Structure 1
Amino acid sequence: MSAAVLATVMLASSGCRGVDDLAITTPAEPTEVDTIIAGGMVFDGTGATGRSIDIAILDDRIVYVGEDADARFRARNTIDAVGLVVAPGFIDPHTHADADLVSSDADRRANKAYAFQGVTTVLVGNDGFGDYRIADMASAAIESGIGTNVAWLVGFGAVREEVLGRVDREPDAAELAQMGALTRQAMCEGAWGFSTGLYYVPQNFAKTEEVVTLARIATEFGGYYDTHMRDESTYNVTVTGALAETLKIGREAGLPVHIAHIKALGPAVWGHSERMIAMIEEAQASGQQVSADQYPWEASGTRISNALVPRWALEGGLEALRERLAKPEQRLAIRQGIEEAIERRGGSDRLLVTGALGEAEVETGKTLEQLARDQGIAPADAAIAVLRTGDARLASFNMNPDDIAAFAARDWVVTGSDGSTGHPRKYASFPKAYRDLVADGGMMDMARFVRRSSGQTADIIGLQGRGYLKPGYFADVVVLDPERFAPRATYSAPEELSSGVVHLLVNGEVVIRGGAHTGQLPGRPLLKPASCAS
């Protein structure tokens, strides 16, 4: 991307001007505004109690939040929000919406799975998968049009694989420098932080020191460290061992830590949330910045290869795995590892196949236990049969409700989806969290739920001018019906749009009106301002 185009992208992103500047340049009392949202119960994202007030919007900004807006402004469009909740558009800090946002299909680029949850900004590049070519992706988003705003993380996995491939070895000095240069390029082009997925190949081959070296580059740019930890169960260092490593990386690299989809995965670590919470809050008490996101589901979303196959057997990818399966001795070792992983996740009856990948011929909607029974073979052999030609998506029912509730109650945990194909979390995490935590569960009030879904998340990422309903801020606004805001997606029907979002505005433009999508694509790439030598 040319310097001129990149500059244009930067101006379209949040953080291109300070919030004080936005407020100063906003007309105090414009005669005419585009939209007034009138009479709703407004929760501004700060955690303050809701107030029945109005919001006035001109172009892409909020210009007024208060009473009697209709007496102060003349609006081209008025949204009657009486009886409805008005909140900042929700911000999802962990999604896998990359493919949707670059699709040639405008309907996919509308990002409806998130819009109908009230989400106006998604973060992508999580789990270490984030492409380092941020400027190219931002340019494409502007040229093609997207339905929600998008912000990027640079991924350790993408950087490491570019330089080393999928091999299990340490980089030499030159290779580490090359990885550092790619990370720096991404931060210069507007990445908000550095993400890892240390459980996944090839990232799991890296030692802690390698991660710290690259994370320090994000520190130079004021970024943060976002991580799918090396272990969420007992695969290698255990979930508490992985948490200790995560906190160490943050301390040694000198940047805030954000833990992705915090959980205690599998019966062997159920109840470990208590120790994890204590470790995090001890770190916070010592001055370290630590936060986490959480999706409100008992099942994680993964693949057979990621969930069950030993890490060593995946070096070189699935083709290399199949070569190993053809060798009796290695096949035996892989099968034993798969058996152990099935047990670790609570048994084959807890592993639901939700989609085939590659050339695999596998019946979806059945558990691994059912597939094995149908074929008259052991569950481990049923998994291997799938892997011989492809892979399969799994919903893995391996979390305990008590752990989920324990994490949800902490004030440093925010809402996130980890949205992926074949799992209802992509379409329904925010409304499900609302039902579980507010409407049905009574664990928190609406003000707290809105804060953990908007302003607090903006603060964690570093987004300026978003996440709050304040004059001068971008007009990302959700208007929802608190009685009808609910998930419709299920494990058997994971792609059902959620209900209850009556209106949704992104950068001042209406993308949902009266519960129907308008087809507008007003989303923007949000780039972190960076000062880099040309």
Structure 2
Amino acid sequence: MKLGNAALPALAGILVGCQSLPDDAPRVPVDLLITGGTVYDGTGSPATADDLVISDGLVAYLGPDARTKYLPAREIDATGLVVAPGFIDPHTHAAGDLSSDGADRRANLPFAFQGITTVVVGNDGGGSPDVAAQAELAKAQGIGTNVAYLAGFGPIREEVLGKEDRAPDADEMSVMKARLRGAMCEGAWGFSAGLYYVPQAYSQTDEVVALARVASGLGGFYDTHMRDESTYNVTVTGALAETLEIGRRADIPVHIAHIKALGPAVWGHSAKMIEAIEDARASGQRVTADQYPWEASGTRISAALVPRSALEGGLDALRERFKEPASRAAIRAAMVDGIARRGGASKLLITGRLGEAEIDTGQTLQEYAEAAKVEPVDAAIAILMQGDARVASFNMSTADIAAFAVRDWVVTGSDGSSGHPRKYGSFPKAYRDLVLGEPGMDLARFIERSSGQTAKLIGLQDRGRLAPGMAADVVIFDPATFAPQATYQAPRELSVGVRHLFVNGEQVIAEGAYTGSLPGRPLLKRTACAQGNGDS
């Protein structure tokens, strides 16, 4: 197997790959040698028994007989273990953890113990456009995993229009374009939208296309929580049609966040969605998606149940509307429909309280309402009058989950957020569901969809594969014990089975324990930002 012969900076003048040194040549000093493992390189290729050499934060060599060429400072015997590129999570809500004052939070251990070495933040349209400031803070404080940034539609729109339900005028659109362009020039990898959420929900397709063209002109991709994943407005298939239209008109790669068919009314619609996406891909459109392996989605009561028109102006404005009898009655009726759309109050598990809401977690909305001796909708209104609450919404079909999982354009993601086990256990759960369970996915394919394929769709050229010159982001896990421990009742349990984890060549997990190191880096897109470039 030919692996290349380019000289690495750390090994100047010494050829790498599989070329042999002269018999009398001295062995090259390196940092680490990993031997004995079953090695997957992240491309989907079959496993090898190669040795892996790491030095100066890079993969220095991948091939046989490393000891004849290299003199390692230390070795790891990975016999019985899988050696793979560190996993890349394309959809997280880890920005708050990574900017925390606490080093324990910045270590990002919920992700690291899943084998994840790089997280993407700013998804669902929530990413701050101040990318440079986020990156500088990460470098100054230290973080446990790498992080890549998306520029969010929500903050950009809210800076200009607040939470108003209206379209921007020409001058306002110019400001929004400039703000997005600035974020891309500071290193964002793409433009993120969450058209389901206020105030982004107030946008029309043309507005999103205009902004997506800016990101397209600067080499970015369009990451989207679609306008509907159920029957809230345009339906999940209508939202998919809009998503594909945005991609075509803006000439931008489209990545669909946490692809799903949410609620009994759209169960089985995965077939229509898959057909539409594969038709688009066959026509040359660049379309991918990520998926988490859980039957419950995660959101807030306000987002799950309240009509978007009632959220104009934010939660304070909603509370004022609740005080007016006619308005309250109309919103209440819509919320009754929202509860039914979610499969009933017994399918909404309260996982976290927000604001001043006085509510215990770990109970369903139905249980909370029964204890309070009120109807579920009135219990939900009482919560919203005080604050809000996070909920896990059990509203997906296992058949739909399975149908999406096996598509070659779907990658592993977590949508990791507080109160839901997906933050702590999505990648090992996907491994156990897909590789050890049905459909018996090949491990090489699982690792590709969790590393190399994700790096490619984001644009990370030096991550996601094991090859000389690549960043030494490496996971070594036990295929027999790699498993989630988090549950809906105990969502903050670290996963098990990762024996060693390296981020930029520095060990974060050693023999299953955190080392205390913070070697992660902000990964910034290098964008040529000539005057006017990308603002079409």
- Of the three residues 330, 335, 338, the one matched with 1:333 is 330
1:148 paired with 2:173, answer no
Cα RMSD after superposing both structures: 1.3
Report the equivalent of 1:72.
69
- Of the three residues 84, 91, 115, the one matched with 1:118 is 115
1:505 paired with 2:499, answer no
| TM-score, normalised by the number of residues in structure 2 | 0.95
Q: Give the 4+ runs in structure 1 shifted more than 3 A.
A: 19-26
- Of the three residues 173, 176, 180, the one matched with 1:176 is 173
Instruction: Give the conservation status (yes or no) of the 8 Å contact 1:22–1:473.
Output: no
1: CA distance, partners of 2:439 / 2:45: 18
1:292 paired with 2:289, answer yes
Deviations 1:239-277 (A, max 9, x none): 000000000000000010000000000000000000000
Unaligned runs of 5+ in 1: 1-18
Q: Secondary structure at the match of 2:222?
A: strand
Identity of aligned residues (%): 65
1:440 paired with 2:444, answer no
Report the equivalent of 1:131.
128
- Of the three residues 207, 213, 218, the one matched with 1:216 is 213
2: CA distance, partners of 1:221 / 1:37: 39
The alpha-carbon deviation at position 25 of structure 1 amounts to 3.9
1: CA distance, partners of 2:248 / 2:524: 25
The alpha-carbon deviation at position 21 of structure 1 amounts to 11
Relative to 1, partners in 2 of residues 1:398 and 1:22: Cα closer, same or farther, differing over 3 Å? farther
1: CA distance, partners of 2:8 / 2:142: 29
1:471 paired with 2:458, answer no
2: CA distance, partners of 1:20 / 1:217: 37
1:230 paired with 2:227, answer yes
1:531 paired with 2:528, answer yes
Aligned pairs (5 A) from 1:170-209:
170-209=167-206
Instruction: Give the conservation status (yes or no) of the 8 Å contact 2:218–2:529.
Output: no
1: CA distance, partners of 2:272 / 2:289: 15
Report the equivalent of 1:7.
none
Q: Secondary structure at the match of 2:492?
A: coil
The alpha-carbon deviation at position 24 of structure 1 amounts to 5.3
- 1:429 partner letter: S
Aligned pairs (5 A) from 1:104-503:
104-503=101-500
Relative to 1, partners in 2 of residues 1:63 and 1:360: Cα closer, same or farther, differing over 3 Å? same
The alpha-carbon deviation at position 72 of structure 1 amounts to 1.5
Q: Secondary structure at the match of 2:49?
A: strand
- 1:414 partner letter: V
1:94 paired with 2:85, answer no
- 2:147 partner letter: V
1: CA distance, partners of 2:439 / 2:216: 39
Relative to 1, partners in 2 of residues 1:345 and 1:77: Cα closer, same or farther, differing over 3 Å? same
Q: Would you say how many aligned residue pairs link Structure 1 and Structure 2?
A: 516
| TM-score, normalised by the number of residues in structure 1 | 0.95
1: CA distance, partners of 2:481 / 2:377: 43
Q: Secondary structure at the match of 2:154?
A: helix
Q: Secondary structure at the match of 1:366?
A: coil
Instruction: Give the conservation status (yes or no) of the 8 Å contact 2:10–2:55.
Output: no
The alpha-carbon deviation at position 409 of structure 1 amounts to 0.8
Relative to 1, partners in 2 of residues 1:61 and 1:528: Cα closer, same or farther, differing over 3 Å? same
- 1:306 partner letter: A
The alpha-carbon deviation at position 442 of structure 1 amounts to 4.1
The alpha-carbon deviation at position 532 of structure 1 amounts to 1.8
Unaligned runs of 5+ in 2: 17-26, 532-536
Instruction: Give the conservation status (yes or no) of the 8 Å contact 2:472–2:504.
Output: yes
